[in-house]
Structure 1
Amino acid sequence: MPFTAIVLAAGEGTRMKSRHPKVMHKVLDKPLVWWPVTAARKAGASRIVVIIGNGAQEVKDFFAQEETSTDTTPVEFVEQKERLGTGHAVKVARDQLGAFSGPVVVLAGDTPLIKPETIQSLVEKAKAEHDACTVLTMTPDDVAGYGRVVVDDKDHVQAIIEDKDCTPEQCATLKECNSSIYCFCGRRLSENIDKITNDNAQGEYYLPDMIKIFVGMGEPVGWIHCPDYHEVLGVNNRVQLAQVTKVIQHNINEQLMLSGVSMLDPDQVWIGPEVTVGQDTTLLPQTILFGKSSVGSNCTVGPNSRLVNAQVGDGCTVDESVIVESIVENDVNIGPRAYLRGHTHMLNGSKAGTHVELKNSTVGEGSKVPHLSYIGDTVMGKNVNIGGGSITCNYDGKHKSHTELGDHVFIGSDTMMVAPVKIGDNALIGASSCITKDVPAGALALERNHQIIKEGWADAYWKRLEKED
């Protein structure tokens, strides 16, 4: 059912003790505000409006980058330059965008646990009952601090009484609380939002006052209970940020394990919401999979591995390694302690071993970079072997140059390949060479100075040092 979602994300968030806006602090690699926006998208929102204020440009930049890489409902922004309360935020949106029509769901930008199904239920209840407003309610373990929802014998909301205004009897009997998430009739909201006043100690315009206004007009106000109150809990400090991160981590990991993924210790595996993992893959402790990473089936990832926007095929091993913005095909072995970045592409059956860094390079089928090497801006054919300690010297201080290695090339240990350079098929490079010129196919290339030997020099040197002591 299409609806408009308004996400309130303009607050200062002073309790985060940060230079960044509260809603940009991350839960599993995604900002707080991304979660309710994504929930609204999945629930069927046809229009998403984010109210921004503190750190407005940072929020805009994030969604601008996200929307260039995904096919999603775009986000519209309304800047609340004066932060005068939640009612004022919605009024500013109405003034800038024009009158609303259809259902309007108001969400908080700091509630990452809200589910699409909960939003859908809220909208469906509002439409079915033709309510001016439908309040999402909850029953937390500790109701202190929450506004209490008063319902009449016709199951309509009559009032929301703030905690500080409750009598002792109301404190004892009223347990249904306001979650601060609502679904309004867009027309009635637009026509009446100006009736909210700032006649309070803070001098702000509060959206819950719309309930009192609608009740006074004789307009129906409904409610729907959220079974799990954790869904609607907001994040106000870094302790709460860690708490909701733990909840989402548990939910994601549980779903993956139920789908056929093994985890030695789920508490030590962190997986982002857009990551996919295939069956019979094992994720070892201290593994992080973020961004749009995907891992195929029958893989082992970890321990101590981090993948960000990495695509890993089937049957791979990633041991104590980092892969960023790179593609790994099938049956590839990586690590321990390898680093792949800058759109590296490893083809089937290849290997990047211990302390190997690959940047913007293609490693051909069956090719190996076993250990202690840097390969950058290189295209490598199939069945190439790179000896330990070898480097492609691809940067002259100003320009990046490319290296090309043909099929079945053997590079001896401690070889420098000074780009731009091409080494043909079946060529062999002797150890400790510095290759500055192209090498033809099938050739042997050596670059060494003559070895000088001075008989007895070392013995005399050590004896001289002994006398000096």
Structure 2
Amino acid sequence: MQTVLLAAGEGTRMRPLTAGLPKPMLPVADRPLCAHTADAAIEAGTDELILVVGYEADVVREYFGEEYRGVPVKYATQDEQLGTAHAVRTAHEHLDGRFAVLYGDDLYDQASIEALFAAGPGITAYRAENPSNYGVLDTDGDRVVGVTEKPASPETNLVSAGACVLPSEAREWLDVEQSERGEYELTDVLDRVFAEYEVSYTELDRWMGVGRPWELLEANEWKLTELDREVRGDVSDDADLRGPVVVEEGAAIEPGVVIEGPVLVRSGAHVGPNAYVRGATLLGEDSEVGHAVEIKNSVIMRETNVPHLSYVGDSLLGRDVNFGAGTTVANLRHDDEPVEQTVKGERVSTGRRKYGVVVGDGAKTGIETSLSPGVVLSPGARTEPNEWVSRDR
């Protein structure tokens, strides 16, 4: 079994976090997003990983190398993102048997991927609350006979989750025609597989696509809860670590700190004194959480500083961000409605009652800055001391 892992996209809906980092390499707990999928494939028994790369490809290559967890790794480059069939087609020269296709920006439960790999030609399925937003599976008993894209009145809530195992012959079926969207779609390849093979479906117990910043928060909420307590860093006797807290070697926790898991403190991070970290929180490598800071349910990426007397809740801070003393993030609307965020120029509901801010790499706030819920700061953005920021910058 070979596994083609699609990791070429930039992730424009995830901006500004992807300004210098491909979406599949954004941090989810203790590893990049796409590494969770690669690990699932390895645990399911894949013999080889073929990573399709494009945007910021060197970041992916540096992480996975030529061998990852004992499994050989090859690379195929997709210079233009022209669709899923186009992406898989770039790996054509490496394919020589049946192969799986997994998405580097999706998370799957491990047991279901193992079942998919064991079943032969097959596709993953999921019970969706709003099936008309997806491709709905057409089935004949346990067999999949087609996929209907976004039907107005779906007869079932069983939708395609994308991941699939294809027969070796599908290697020669990847040269499909452009769709109405101007892309080369893997669903057109699947149509031929459905016609010539008995294709089963594997229903996923848990699955999520990670396309927007609040979904990256949700992904971390999922994966951080799977970590077991482990303390290898330098932790003061006067610190209070409660529940599933991981402190990696090289991290330091000062006196008076309270951490309520699930929390991951990565190597080189420094917390305290007297800081309070709670909820599903990731503190990235070499990050700084200073005196009397509270961090709640947030992703703080590497080399980012929240030095002292600040509050950050339900937020995502990119790399090398610096919050001035007393910076406060508001994460709740007064009308109690879901917080909205601008995505590709449009205001979109996050569906989250509590949601803070998204901050791009290298942004800095002045002391006593206040940030409204849903605000986005672009890479390198600046705020003035005592400023209230209610619009994206």
User: What amino acid is aligned across from residue 222 of structure 1 in structure 2?
Assistant: S
Give yes or no for the alignment of 1:88 onto 2:45.
no
- 2:106 aligns with 111
TM, length-normalised to structure 2: 0.59
Q: What residue in structure 2 maps to residue 134 of structure 1? A: 122
Q: Please list the CA deviations of residues 347-400 of structure 1 after superposition, one character each: whole Å capped at 9, or x if unmatched.
A: xxxxxxxxxxxxxxxxxxxxxxxxxxxxxxxxxxxxxxxxxxxxxxxxxxxxxx
Out of 87, 96, 102, the residue aligned to residue 100 of structure 1 is 96
Other-structure match for 1:212: 191
Deviation (angstroms), 1:302: 5.1
Contact 2:126/2:160 (CA < 8 Å) preserved in 1? yes
Tell me the distance in 2 between the aligned counterparts of 1:159 and 1:34.
30
Structure 1 stretches of 5 or more lacking a match? 127-132, 262-270, 277-281, 311-317, 326-335, 338-469
> Does residue 1:202 correspond to 2:181, yes or no?
yes
- Taking the aligned partners of 1:141 and 1:292, their CA distance within structure 2 comes to 42
Asked whether the 8 Å contact 2:84–2:185 carries over to 1, the reply is yes
Aligned residues: 271
Q: Residue 364 of structure 1 aligns with which residue?
A: none
SS of residue matched to 2:91: helix
Contact 1:285 1:302 survives alignment (8 Å): no
Note the alpha carbon deviations across 1:292-336, whole angstroms, 9 max, x for none.
7899xxxx99536985448xxxxxxx98799x89xxxxxxxxxx9
SS at match of 1:251: coil
Contact 1:29–1:290 (8 Å) recurs in 2 = no
The one-letter amino acid of 2:258's match is P
Residues 193 and 251 of structure 1, relative CA distance in 2, 3 Å threshold: same
Give distance in 1, aligned partners of 2:23 and 2:91: 20
Q: Residue 244 of structure 1: CA displacement? A: 1.3
Matched, 1:158 2:142: no
Cα distance per residue 1:236-255 (max 9 Å; x no partner): 11111001111112232xxx
Matching residue's letter, 2:23: K
User: What value does the CA root-mean-square deviation take over the aligned residues?
Assistant: 4.0
1:46 paired to 2:47: yes
Judged with a 3 Å threshold, the aligned counterparts in structure 2 of structure 1 residues 250 and 206 are, in CA distance, closer, same or farther, namely: same
Q: Which structure's relative contact order is higher, taking Cα pairs within 8 Å and 6+ residues apart?
A: 2
What is the TM-score with the length of structure 1 in the denominator? 0.50
Please name the residue that 2:133 is paired with: 145
Match of 1:16 in 2: 14
In terms of fraction of residues, the more helix-rich structure is 1
Q: Does residue 218 of structure 2 align to residue 243 of structure 1?
A: yes
Give the SS at the match of 1:45: coil
1:191 to 147, 157, 172: 172
* Alignment partners' CA distance in 2, 1:37 and 1:243: 19
Q: Equivalents in 2 of 1:290, 1:208: separation in Å?
A: 44
Measured after TM superposition, the shift of residue 156 of structure 1 is 1.7
Give the AA of the match of 2:96.
Answer: F
Alpha-carbon spacing, 1:215–1:286, altered in 2? closer, same or farther (3 Å): closer
* TM alignment of 1:20-419, pairs within 5 A: 20-64=21-65, 71-95=69-93, 97=94, 99-101=95-97, 103-112=98-107, 114-126=108-120, 133-153=121-141, 155-163=142-150, 166-168=151-153, 171=154, 173-185=155-167, 187-194=168-175, 196-198=176-178, 200-216=179-195, 218-226=196-204, 228=205, 231-252=206-227, 256=228, 284=241, 289=246, 303=258, 308-309=266-267
Distance 1:293 1:250, change over 3 A: farther
Match of 1:454 in 2: none
Q: Which amino acid aligns with 2:135?
A: G
Code of the residue aligned with 1:149 in structure 2: it is L
1:175–1:55 CA distance, 2 compared to 1 (3 A): same
Deviation, structure 1 residue 142: 2.5
Q: Secondary structure at the match of 1:233?
A: strand
Structure 2 contact 85–186 (Cα < 8 Å) conserved = yes
Q: What secondary structure does 1:284 align onto?
A: strand
Superposed displacement of residue 144, structure 1:
3.3
Provide, for residues 45-99 of structure 1, a one-character-per-residue CA deviation record: whole Å limited to 9, x for no partner.
11001111111112112223x96xx75324221111121111011111013x2x4
Matched-pair contact (CA < 8 Å) for 2:11–2:22: yes
Unpaired segments ≥5 residues, structure 2:
234-238, 276-282, 292-393
User: Matched residue of 1:144: which SS?
Assistant: helix
Cα distance in structure 2, aligned partners of 1:204 and 1:233: 23
- Mapped to 2, the partners of 1:151 and 1:21 lie a distance apart of 36
Contact 1:13 1:22 in 2 (8 A): yes
The residue type paired with residue 121 of structure 1 is: A
Q: Taking structure 1 as reference, are residues 167 and 320 closer, same or farther at Cα in structure 2, changes over 3 Å only?
A: closer
Contact 2:166/2:193 (<8 A) preserved: no
Aligned-pair identity (%)? 23
Structure of higher CA gyration radius: 1
